[in-house]
Structure 1
Amino acid sequence: MLLRYTGVFACLGFLSLCWAYKVTPIIGDDVYPFVKIGNGYYYIENNKRANWYQAYIACRKMGAELVSFETREELDAMDAYIPIEYSLRQYWTSGTDLAVKGMHVWFSNAEPLADDVWYPGEPNDAGGNERCDILIYKGTGGTAINDRQCDSVELYICEVPLPKEVSFIW
């Protein structure tokens, strides 16, 4: 009898070591109100303006973060998506130097902003109080990042973090 139970438990133990549990992504087929742009999912607020803090809270309430452009390619994908008639609009990003003045990082991941995403001459901390970063259109076309006062009222872009695929071996 003991030999039988030992064999059953050994078999179950072996099967549990071979079986991996896969975490399913939170993004399914229905991603409304988010749109797929490049490799990410974004919500672009084109109607309601908010200051940087209010925009951050609005994104968090949707399970998202203010957008972070980790690469120039991600910024270019957003530029290609936003219609030209919105070229005078400005959007909050998660970029800020609130933690250390002069050191702009993406608030959502603490990574520094790349040099190639800035508008020429930015960040300049005009007036000594530009601590949050917006997406703007350059006069010659394309988008770039500019620092702005955090209490300015702008539109905003939220980004859903891409799910990470994880396997657990038991």
Structure 2
Amino acid sequence: MYSKTQEQNMDFEAIYESDEDTTGPRTLSYIQAKGKALQCRGSRCLVLITVSLGLICVLLLIFIILLYFTITAERDLIKTYKNTAEEFNQTINSLQDNYTDLMTEKHQLQNNFSSLSQKKLELETKVNYLTAEKDQLQRDFDSLGQRNPDFEVTTLSDELKKNVSKGGNQCSLDGLFVSKKSMSWSASRQYCRDRGGDLVIIKSLEKQRLMSSLVRLSERAWIGLSDIANEGNLTWVDKSPLNQGFWFEGEPNDEDGNEDCVEMMAFSSTLNNWNDLSCSARRRGICEK
């Protein structure tokens, strides 16, 4: 490589030759001035090139930094997308599992519904059968009563006579009878009236004992006591007030405000077997003349 001095001499020679071709011989001072001018021009070019290279390096650095941040941001975004996709997949799998469980439960409920429907049909069939059997028994019973209308009274008299012979009860048996059918309290009373009597009145322990023996034959039966005329004030069918009662435990309770008539219950093991009941309930009636 040439040294800096050799380069300058070559420049001087080139200038000198150029000057000889155009204007003739020049002085040494002029040639030196010319060389210095060229040297200054080269230094400026070098500075410009250096500055340009520096700027290019700075721009490249900025570009690299921006590229790094862009790649990092895209990488984070891709990671976020990946996590989101995984969450979606987990949600989808969970929903599929829930759907499978719901379908299984649905099938189970359908099977239970089918089983209950079958049982319902069976119960309806049994109810229809029992209803038909009950109607047939009622018809047979009515037919028996028509063929022997004195059956119940005769049985009642026999039972009362046995009770009197055992306990020495002096209550009269004459005029006592029980209705053949179960009816409302008012219908039972009318039944008694149509036969010259009325529902029985019980004002003594002896008569209560006698009627308790009687009611075992009829299971449950109306007596002539109610508060139809005056709510809360129980009176007998002869309009006399109630002085002594033989109530079952917890009675009378006038449940739902609709129990205005009184029955005797056969299942009570004591003499306290009175119960207030809705007057529309169907019971037999104990009548006396």
Question: What TM-score do you get using the length of structure 1 for normalisation?
Answer: 0.64
1:37-116 equivalences in 2 (<5 Å): 37=160, 38-40=171-173, 41-45=175-179, 47-83=180-216, 86=217, 89-107=219-237, 109-116=238-245
* Kept in 2: contact 1:72–1:116 (CA 8 A): no
Which residue of 2 is the match for residue 124 of structure 1?
253
CA distance in 1, matches of 2:245, 2:278: 21
Which residue of 1 is the match for residue 276 of structure 2?
147
The 1:100/1:81 distance shift into structure 2, 3 A limit, reads closer
Q: Which runs of 5+ in 2 are unaligned?
A: 1-149, 161-170
* Kept in 1: contact 2:246–2:271 (CA 8 A): no
Q: Which amino acid aligns with 2:195?
A: M
Shift of residue 116 of structure 1? 3.7
CA distance in 2, matches of 1:97, 1:68: 14
CA distance in 2, matches of 1:98, 1:70: 19
Question: What TM-score do you get using the length of structure 2 for normalisation?
Answer: 0.39
The 1:64/1:155 distance shift into structure 2, 3 A limit, reads same
Which residue of 2 is the match for residue 27 of structure 1?
none
CA distance in 1, matches of 2:215, 2:267: 14
Q: Which amino acid aligns with 1:137?
A: A
The superposition leaves residues 55-74 of structure 1 with CA deviations (integer Å, 9 ceiling, x where unpaired) of 01110010010111121210
Q: Percent identity?
A: 27
The 1:98/1:92 distance shift into structure 2, 3 A limit, reads same
RMSD: 2.3
* Kept in 2: contact 1:101–1:131 (CA 8 A): yes
Which structure features the higher share of helix residues?
2
Q: Which runs of 5+ in 1 are unaligned?
A: 1-31, 161-170
Q: Which amino acid aligns with 1:44?
A: V
The 1:92/1:80 distance shift into structure 2, 3 A limit, reads closer
Q: Which amino acid aligns with 1:57?
A: Q
Pair member with larger Rg: 2
Shift of residue 132 of structure 1? 0.8
How many matched pairs? 124
The 1:96/1:90 distance shift into structure 2, 3 A limit, reads same
Which structure features the higher share of strand residues?
1
The 1:75/1:97 distance shift into structure 2, 3 A limit, reads same
The 1:126/1:94 distance shift into structure 2, 3 A limit, reads same
